[in-house]
Amino acid sequence: MSNPEFKERYFNPDADLPYGVHPDEVAEAIKEWYDLYNGINDFLHSEGHHSIENLLRANNALSDFVGDILTDNLAEASPKLIKNQKQDGFPDILPVENEEYEAKDYRVHHGDEGIETKCSQQNGGWQAHNNESAWFVIFRYASIDRDVPPEEMDDVEIIQVLSAKLEEEDWNHSGRSNDSRRTITSSIIANGMDKLRSNPIYQKPEAITGRAEPKQRYREMQAQFDPVFAEEHPEYVTEQSSLDV
């Protein structure tokens, strides 16, 4: 079985990111994830164990693990960023060039500047605890079927990385009744999802989703940076795409 790896054709070097962060630094974060992931699994297999995705079966355990590693990798890959030194602080990653944050040794409970990260198998419906105004980077990996035998379980493959500046109106807040124990959450609504899907940093064509008109637009964007997709689907090649591929 071959190990999953970063594919250049899925990388969009023209994606928009804040604070002077370059898409190449996101690419480096993904590559570093694969180096770690493949190394862990090679060791586990050599010792007669199953892959890491089989060991992390608890709810959200795998997403948390993958997301934490990618967040650390991105903070380390960019000289413009540093990880929030406060556990569970918001946002996850902070701009280095911020005097207020520097004075706090980058231990920020809730800041107005920075990048919050999310990691999920889901193609949408990503949540936070509140309606947040911040830059977000969403790491998405391919869905893993946990009902198959461990040796048949798919690898953790990064299939989509999206980014956008979301505002409070891009969320729908769900409260709870006085006698409810349900966690209070906010979910990204259609406008926020369109912002994210309109700015892919890394994307397999199969990961593109959305309603008819936006989906057409997302595929035209894919053709601008994915030459294989453009060749296989000339119907999505626009004048701008033909100049880029």
Residue-wise pLDDT tens digits, 130-147: 878 899 999 999 988 878
The structure's pTM equals: 0.91
Q: What is the pLDDT of residue 240?
A: 67
Reported as half-sphere exposure (CB side, CA atoms, 13 A), residue 110 has a value of 5
Fold category of 8-209 in CATH: ECO RV Endonuclease; Chain A (3.40.600)
Cα 157 to Cα 221: distance, rounded to the nearest angstrom: 22
Please give the DSSP secondary-structure letter assigned to residue 41: H
Domain ranges of the chain: 8-209, 210-245
Return left, alpha or beta for 47; rule: phi > 0 is left, psi -120 to 50 is alpha, else beta.
alpha
Contacts (Cβ under 8 Å, ≥6 apart) of 187: 125, 126, 127, 171, 172, 174
Of residues 119, 123, 95, 118, the one with CA closest to residue 108: 95
Phi, psi for 118 (deg, rounded to 5): -135, 145
Q: What is the pLDDT of residue 83?
A: 98
Query: Residue 167, class by beta-carbon neighbours within 10 Å (0-12 exposed, 13-18 middle, 19+ buried)?
Result: middle
Positive or negative, the CA dihedral 41, 72, 165, 183 is: positive
Q: What is the pLDDT of residue 175?
A: 56
Please give the DSSP secondary-structure letter assigned to residue 2: P
Which residues in the chain come in under a pLDDT of 50?
176-178, 180-182, 242-245
